[in-house]
Each structure stands twice: as C-alpha cells, then as structure tokens.
Amino acid sequence: MSLKKGRVFSGARPTGRQHLGNYLGAIQNYVALQDEYECIYCIVDLHALTTLETTLDLTNNVLEMALDWLAAGIRPEETIVFVQSHVPQVTELHTILSMVTPFGKLTDLPTFKEKVRMHPQNVNYGLLGYPVLQAADITLYKAGLVPVGIDQVPHVEFTRETVRSFNYRFNTGVLVEPQVKMTEVPKVIGVDGQQKMSKSLNNHIELAATPEETTRRVKSMVTDPQRMRRSDPGNPDICNVFSMHKMFSTPAEVEMVNVECRRAGIGCVDCKKMLAGNLNAYFEPFRQRRLELAAQPSGVWEVLHDGASRARAIAEATMVEVRAAVGLPR
Ligand code: SF4
C-alpha cells in the first residue's frame, strides 16, 4: 500500500533544454514533491502543437527536457514520467469533455485572448480547446492535486468545473475534482534584468550550459544602472545578480554582497564572478549526471516509454468507467 499522501499531476510543454527559470519555477518543486506524493509528470507535446510553427525540433525538445528532468532528480522508478501523445486515451477524454464545455466559456478565458494576441496568424481549434485537453490530462489520472502558481489557479478551477459538468450531465462520480496545490513560483528575471527569463527572449541561462558559457552569461547580466563606476555605491535590492545570489549563494555571501555593494566595497565584476562560481558548483552534479544520461538517449526513451505504459494502464481504467458513464457502446 502506498504511504504517499495523494496523486499529483503536472504537465509541461517540451521546450527543449531547460533554464534557471524552469528549474526554480517547476523542476525543483517536481523533485521535492516526489518525497510525499505519488507523482505523474507529463511532457505535453500535443499542447505544444497548438502554437508550433514547425515540428522539426519536437522530438529532440522532448528528449532534452526529459534529460534535464531526470538529471535534476526525478526518479522514474517511482514517478511516472511520460510523453502526452503516448497515451492516446487523453484525446478520447478531451473529445468527450468538449461535449460538456460551453463554447463561450473557452472564448472568454483570458489565456485564450492572450494566445490570440500572440499568435494572430494561427488561431486554431486546438488553441481554443487547450483548457479542455488540460482538464483531460488531469482527470484521466484522477489526480487529486495539481501544483500551480497563483496565476495558474483559474486553469485548475476550469478543470474542476468541467468535472462537475461531466459528472452532473452523466449522473456519475467517475471523474475527480482536483485541488490546487499552491506553489511558490519565484519570478526569475533574465540576464537582461528586465523580463522574465525565457528562451524566446534569449535572456536565459541553461542548466546544462558549460561552466564557461554560464560565466559568460552571468558576466552579461544587467546590474544596478546607477553603478557606472567601481567606486559608485550600488543598490542590491534592484539588482538581478543579487536576487540570484539569494538563491545560489551562502547566507554569509548574500550578507556580504548586501553590505559591500552599498558602500562600493565589492565591484560588479567580482560579484558576478562569485555568482557564476556558485552556479557552476551547484549544477556540477546535475551536469555530470546529464552527460551520462545523454550518452545513451535510448535509455531516456525507455524511461519515457515505460512511464507511458504505466500511465496508459491508469488512463484505460478511467476510460472504461467514462465510456460506461457516457453510455458509449462496448
Ligand atoms: S555589486 Fe553585485 S549586487 Fe551590487 S550592483 Fe554590482 S552585481 Fe549588483
């Protein structure tokens, strides 16, 4: 019997090599949740199709992301890690759930409006149905908890409403309403010091970057703009380098920077050098493990296929109940 507290589901789009923002915002939490919960982590390649202009990199992006997850400490012997499209039951449930989803509810969602704004040339049917596919992802595995940051709460609420509509419409209790597992998602700013760290903005630092590349990216980080000369006192509170020190440096180092920056006792060059050194030390075991895994990509695909097979077993059991509840012929 499992001693875990419940089942967690989370999905992430295959964006290839992960960066510090992905790590601090999701991966670190994925790893920690495994200690207390039965976890199911899905690489949602079908969701990615809604906005991709080309699928040429899709398979490689799945592999790169899986490499980062596994190297970071996701344990596939206990956690199910898989690719969404390897469990076709999700598309079947998506279709069924779409029958209990009012069209206007989807077009009214702020996330849909935002996506239309970002991809005006490609407003496809899949984009509109994105939240329904998400609801299918979560409910197919009867996940009790979905770890999300505050801005993602409406997505889980949408799933809960969809479950209620389905269960009411077909007079059943087959689908389970998931609960939000509120997660602290730090806003990680990119090396430009302005915008959220993102691959598309090229302001990111990859987890798997070499020490030299990491140092180069840290050196390029924008600091307190008032600090023009080495002798100018700085303000660490508005400096992104200092924010990162708080995440990757020791409390003593953080305190030292906090004090010395304000009285120009430390220069930005040395401050960044220290941060780069700490980042490289922190990710050294991760990078070593990643290199070992990357040397045998077939092993990673095996992990994903094994995960999909375990996920399919849960998914099919749910679909047997769903089909019966709906009244589909056997
Ligand atoms: S010394 Fe460090 S914290 Fe202060 S402005 Fe320079 S980089 Fe930022």
pLDDT single digits (tens) 217-233 = 999 999 999 999 999 99
Q: Both tokens of residue 295? A: 């040397």
User: How does pLDDT run across 37-57, given as a tens digit for each residue?
Assistant: 999 999 999 999 998 889 999
Nearest to 133 by CA among 110, 114, 112, 116: 112
Q: What does the pLDDT average to over 246-266?
A: 97
Distance from residue 254's CA to the centre of ligand 1 (Å): 11
Which 3 state secondary structure label does DSSP give 32?
helix
pTM of the model: 0.94
Distance from residue 23's CA to the centre of ligand 1 (Å): 23
Q: In terms of C-beta density within 10 A (0-12 exposed, 13-18 middle, 19 or more buried), how is residue 296 classed?
A: exposed
Share of the chain above pLDDT 90, in %: 86
Check residue 151 and give its pLDDT: 82
User: Candidates 219, 224, 230, 231: which one to mutate for ligand 1, based on the most atoms within 8 Å of Cβ?
Assistant: 224
Alpha helices in 194-296 (DSSP H): 211-219, 240-248, 251-262, 268-294
User: How does pLDDT run across 173-229, given as a tens digit for each residue?
Assistant: 999 999 999 888 888 999 999 999 999 999 999 999 999 999 999 999 999 999 999
Q: Both tokens of residue 23? A: 């790590």
Ligand 1 atom nearest to CA at 242:
3
Q: Is the pLDDT of residue 265 over 70?
A: yes
User: How does pLDDT run across 67-126, given as a tens digit for each residue?
Assistant: 999 999 999 999 999 999 999 999 999 999 999 999 999 999 888 898 889 888 888 899
Distance from residue 232's CA to the centre of ligand 1 (Å): 11
Ligand 1 neighbourhood includes 268 CB (under 6 angstroms): yes
Ligand 1 neighbourhood includes 166 CB (under 6 angstroms): no
Distance from residue 275's CA to the centre of ligand 1 (Å): 10
Q: In terms of C-beta density within 10 A (0-12 exposed, 13-18 middle, 19 or more buried), how is residue 56 classed?
A: exposed
Ligand 1 neighbourhood includes 261 CB (under 6 angstroms): yes
Q: Is the pLDDT of residue 1 over 80?
A: no
